[in-house]
Amino acid sequence: MFKKALLALPVALALGATAHAEKPPEEVLQDLIESTDSPYLTQSEQNLMMMADSPAMWTAMDGEDLFNTPRGPNNVSMEACDFGKGAGVLEGARVELPRYFEDTGKVMDLETRIVHCMTEVQGFAPDDPAVARRHGSGSDHMKIQTYIGMQSSGMEWNNPLDHPLEIAMRDAGEVLFARRAGKADFNCYACHGQSGKQVRASVLPNVKVPEEWTKAISWPAFRVGHDNVRSTQHRVRGCYFQMRQAGMKAGTDASIALISYWTDQARGQPAIMPDMKR
């Protein structure tokens, strides 16, 4: 469906016509720009112009094929996987992650849930390239993540806080966000604790301004400077590198806790997926 529409129409039209999202990402962002006077949201005129034709749309198209095709030793498609809304249901799933899953007894984000699906449902070995390669538009992970993410564009962030572990992870993430460490004695608030801060020419988002923070955490997103679609876990890794702290290992409880807190701070704001970032 999605693939045929993309081939038949310009990408900008195809997104609005075929995705399950309430709004295309460029429209979601424009609504936020009109609702708040934010230099962060408007700092890249070129990105705003290109969003409707983002290369991430092609990544998502490949992701749809991977999601719906029986794969792995068990020859099962990812339609058998539950991302929190029931088997095969993707609409609204991304904005409700991380969340607790009964079948694993853990709070999981999008990336770790995909790993679980690939290994436990489809039967891939953990070291299979389909599972182990996590970064870049050419990876199965980024294709699948981008496709799943698109199904929640325009929907409000609403990661559940019903289970004690969900609350504990969110609270642990808040501690990590504020924790100073490393040779520069940085924490996340050093960059995101107030408006008007910059890294070189880039305006930084303020965690206390939800309209900015929703864009900050809207991943997967196409990073123009990387010429690749990137994930939330990739952004966590990048932030820790920039703070000159020890690297955060993807998929650990610590990384998911931080993402839980990030998401909670954008609660009620519309997700922009796939976003386009510097």
What is the structure's pLDDT at 278? 86
Q: Give the pLDDT band (50/70/90) at residue 22.
A: low
Residues 6+ apart with CB under 8 A from 187: 177, 178, 179, 180, 181, 243
The domains found in the chain, sorted by start residue, are 15-277 (1.10.760.10)
Does residue 239 carry a catalytic annotation? yes
pTM exceeds 0.85: yes
Query: Beta 99-101 vs 221-223: how paired, if at all?
Result: unpaired
CA geometry: angle at 110 spanning 143 and 39, to 5°?
85
Distance CA 205, CA 208 (A): 9
Instruction: Report yes or no: 236 and 188 within 8 Å, Cβ to Cβ.
Output: no
pLDDT higher than 60, residue 12 = no
- Over residues 162-217, the pLDDT tens digits come to 999 999 999 999 999 999 999 999 999 999 999 989 988 889 999 999 999 999 99
3-class DSSP state for residue 230?
Answer: strand
- Given the residues 117, 188, 191, 239, select the one marked as catalytic: 239
What is the structure's pLDDT at 135? 92
- Over residues 105-158, the pLDDT tens digits come to 999 999 999 999 999 999 999 999 999 999 999 999 999 999 999 999 999 999
pLDDT higher than 80, residue 102 = yes
Instruction: Report yes or no: 237 and 250 within 8 Å, Cβ to Cβ.
Output: yes
H helix or E strand, kind and range, residue 223? strand 221-223
